[in-house]
Structure 1
C-alpha cells in the first residue's frame, strides 16, 4: 500500500535528505498561490482558530504550519499520536489534521481515542491519505473522520477544506448552544416542544412535553395515532382543523386549548401554540410549537381554589366508570347558599367573595372527617364551586344512606355558624339536594340534575335543610320553573294590577288611606295569590320591578283622589317593602329617584317594613328610615308582635305607624292574653305618638274592642275587601262611612303593665317567633 502519511506526497525515488529541493520543486506552485487566496484568508473568523496537525514527518509539519498561519489559523504541531492525545487533554482545537501512517500509534488508533472523548460534531478530524487509497478513506469515515485530503496536496484545497470544517463546526456549536438555551428556557417555563411532520405522519414531542402527560422521554411513539388517540374526542376537531383549512400565509401562528389523556386516566388541559408551515397551495406540511399544562387555571376556581365545574364533572365521569365496574355507589350533593344574595346586596361583592372563601374552607374541614381511607386511589370526596353561590360535593364511595345524611347534617350545622368579616358578623345557611350514582341507575349528568332538583325542593320547603331526590320532585320543580317563567312574562306583559284596601278611622268610620295590594291576572284564568308570586319575585331579584310598577300606579291614583276630594288631610297609600330590598344600602335613593321620575308626591306614600327586616341589618334599616322620612315618606312597622322586637327599642326608631298583626286581632276577646297585649301595644304606641292600625279586623266585636282600647285605625274584611280603583272612587265622592256608629264606651282605657312584662307576654304568645338578640341601633 505504501506510505500514506502526510509526506506520502514525496516520490520514493527522492531522498528525504533533500526535502527542501523536493518541496521547492513540487510545492512552489502551491506556495505561490497562497498569497492570492485572499478570499480564503479574509473569510476566516477574526480570531485565529487552532488547528492541531499530527504526523511523524517534521518537514511537512513545518510546511503546513506556514500554510495555516498564512491562512489565518493558529497551528499546533504534534509529531506523534501520543503527543496529540496529551495536547487534547488540555486544549480543544477547532480542527485536527491527522496523518494515517504513524508510530507507535497510527492515525486510526488516534482517531478512535479522540472519538472516545469528542464527538464528530464537537471536534472535526480531517484525515490525510494516499492519493488513491480508497480503503483508507472508507475506514477513516467509519472510524469517525469528518473529511479527508489526498495527495498531491494543494494549498488552496487545504485551506478550503479546513475552512469548511471549521465553519461546519461553528454552526454545529451554535446550533447546540441555541438548542440548549431553548431547552433551558422551555424547562424554566415548564413547557414542552412538539414538531408534526404531516407527510410522514410523525409527531416529535420533547421530554418535557411527555412529562406533562406523565411519561418519560423513552415512552410514547412518534407516530401520529399515538398522539391523536390521547386527544379528548370533543377536542379532536380542533386538532384536525389545523390540517383542513388552507392558509395564504406560509407561517401562520395558532393557539388552542385541548384536553389530553394523562397516564393516570385523567384529562389535562394543554395549551398548544405554534406555527403552520404550508406548501405553495396553502396546504399544511409541518406544524411546530410548544405545549403548556394550563389545567390548574382551567379547572380551578380562582376565588376559592376549589375544583370548578369542569374538573368536578371530569372526576364524576371517572367515578361513574369505576362505580359501574365495581358495582358500588357514590353520592352527589348540590349546595346552594341561603341569604348569600342579601350579603352581596347589603355589604358588597367583596364581602360576598370573603364569605365564599370561608364556606370553601369550612366545607374542606367538614368533608375531611368523612374522607375515605385506603381503597381505590381514584376514589374519595371532592368539593367544587360550580358557580356563584353553588357548590357540588362528591361523596365517594357512599355505601350507606346514613353516611350521606350525616355529611349533609354536618354541612348545614357548620355553614349556619356566623362568619366574621372584620368587625361584623354575617349569618348564612345552605340548602342541599342529594342524588346517588350507581352501576345501573343514572349517568353523571343525570346525577347532577337530580341533586339540583332535590336542592330546589329543599329551597322551596323552608331552606336550611337537605332533600334526597325522588322522581316525584321533578313534577314539583317543573311546576315551579313554569311559574317563574310565567311571572317573568307577566312583568313584561302588564298582567299585574293594583287593588286597594281601605284603612279606616275607628273614630269616624271614614277612609284615611289605603294599602296598595298587587294581584296577578294570569292568562289561563288561574288565581295566583301574592303569597305565591311575591316570594318568587323576591328570590328572582325581580321584586323591584313590581314595586316600581305599584308605586307608579298607586302614587298617581292617590294623587288623583286627593285632587278630586280636596281634603285638608290628604289620603295616603301604603306599600310593602321586602326584606331584601330594604336591607340594600341604596334602596332609599332608588325609591326617591323613582318617585321623581313618576312625579309621585312622597308625602302621600307610606312604606311598611316588617320587624324581621329591621333585625336583619338594623344599621342600614335605620339609615334608610331616616333618609325616607327626611323626604316626607312615612314609614311603618308591619305585622308587629310576630317578629318579637322588644318594645324598649321602639322609641329609637323614627316611625310614623305601627301595625298590629292580624293574629293578635283575630284571637282577641275581652280579658284574654291577646287583648292585654294589644291594650299595652296601643298604650305605648300612643306614647310614642305613632298611628296605630289593627290588621285583619273581621267582626264588629273586634272593631269595638279595638276602639275601646284606643286603636286609631283598622283594616280588614269587616270594612272592605280589596277593590279596584274604579270601585272605590264612588265611595270617596259620596263620603261613605265604612263603620256603624260605635256605642258610647270609655275610649282608651289602659292596663297597668310594664314594658318588660309586655315583652314577656309577646315572647310567650303562640304567634310570636323565636326571640332574637336585642336590636342594636346607632
Structure 2
C-alpha cells in the first residue's frame, strides 16, 4: 500500500498494516471518527508517537498491557514505556525511524506489569505514512510463544534421563566462558573441567538392562549436582554439571582459582560416586575415573580443553581407574610425539630416514673385535636422532617392523660384507641383527634372509639374529620352524636380554640357539672394585652357573653393558666369551668399525 492521505483506511487494512509490516497510510487526523473506532477496537496494542518520541494517543489494548489507561499514557516518552533505550543498537534504530531515515524497527522486549508479572512483547515501530508526522508503535504479546520456545529449548538442551544439561548446552556454556569479553571483565581468567565416566557401568547396563542403567545414571547425576552445589557454597556460583553422553559427565568450573580447587572437587566426586547405590531393590557399586584440566582461559578453545580432559581421563583409566588425574603437559607432549611418529613411520622408511650404528662385540680373552651389533636410528626431520626405544614398539604395533626389519637386515649384511672386502687379511667379523617376533609371523623371514645373503655375498655364519628370551622360549609352530631353518642354513640364533624372561635353561636344549646374551642387570649387579662396598658373591655365582650350563649345552655367552675393567676382569675369570658395552665402545658409524679393524691389523687391539 503506497502512502496517501486521501480518506481513511478501513479497520482491516489498519490491522494488516501492522501485522504485515506494510506502510501504515491512514492518518489519525483524517476522518477522526473512523480512525478512532478502528484504533480503539484493534486487538493489537498500539500508540501513535510524534517525532519527539512522545505518545500522542494509545488504545485500550496498550493500556491493559501496561497496566494503565490510554489517557495516562499520552505525553509519556514511548521509548521508556517499552524499554527501547536499554541497548544502543535498538535506540539508534528507533531514532532513525522517528526521523524517517529507516523504514521500521522490530525488536523483542520483556516488560514488567504493575501486578509483578512479566510480559514478552514484540515491538514494531513504523512510519504512519507519507507526509504524516510521527510513527505507529504496536506491541504483540508473545509470552505464550516465548514460554513454548523456552520449553522446547530446555528439551533440546537437557538430557531426558538425568535432566542435566546435555552436550550441546555444555559446549554453549563453555564457549561463552572462553569468549574474551567474559574473562576480560573481572574474574580469575581461568577455567577448570572435571571430565569423568563410570567404571563398571557397562557391565551393569548389559546384565541388568537399560532401565536399571538409566536409573543409575539419574542417581549419579543427583550426587554430582549435590557435589557441585556444595562446591558453590564457598564461591559465587556452582560448577555446571552436564551429561555428555553414555556414562560420561562433566563439571565445568568458570573463574576457577587453581588446581587445588579442581582437585578438591574431583576428590568429592570420587567419594560421592563410590558410595553404593540402591536401584530397583539392588545395591550397585561403581567408581569413577576423572580427567582434570585447569588452565588460563585465554589461548584455549572448547575443543582443546575437552580433548585435554579426555586424554587425562584415559590416563586415569590406564593408571588403574577409580582415581582422578591432573593434565600433564609433558605427558601429553610425549603422547602427541608418539602419535606423530606412528603416523610417519612407514613414509620415513621409504624416504630413507633410518640409519645404522654398530656396537663392537669383543672377545673377553684377547680383547679383539669379534663382531658388531647393528642398532637402528631414526634421523627424524623434526625430533632429531631417535633411538630404537622411541619407535620400535610403534613399528611392531602397526606392522611396519616387517619393512623396517628387512631394511636393517639388508643394510647390516651389506656392510658386514664390505668390511670383509676392505680387510681381506683380517678374520671377518659377524654382524648381529635384532629380529622382532612379528617379523617371523608376518613375513617369510627364512626366505628374506636367504635372498639377502645371496644378494650381498655374506656367508651365513657371519650373520647372527637376536630374539628376546620370551619370544624364543615361547616359540612353537611356525616360529620354531623358522628358527630351525635359519640355524640349518648356518645363521646363528642368539637370545637377547637372557635372564629377564622365562629363564628356562632346560628348554635351551630343544631350541636351535647358539648364543646367550646376558642381560645388563647381571653385569651391573657385580660389585665394583674400589667402591668400598662389601662383596656379594651371589651375583658372581649366579652368572658363573649360567655360563657353565650354557657352555655344556654348546652355547657361547655374551655379557651386555660392560662398563668397567673390573667387570670385564671378573667376567673373563668366570669364563664369559664376549663382552659388549661402553668399556669397549659406544655404538658408532661404520667408518669407526673399519678403523678398529685396521688398528687390530696394525697390532693395536
Length-normalised TM-score, structure 1: 0.39
Structure of larger gyration radius: 1
Q: Which has the higher contact order (CA 8 A, sep 6+)?
A: 2
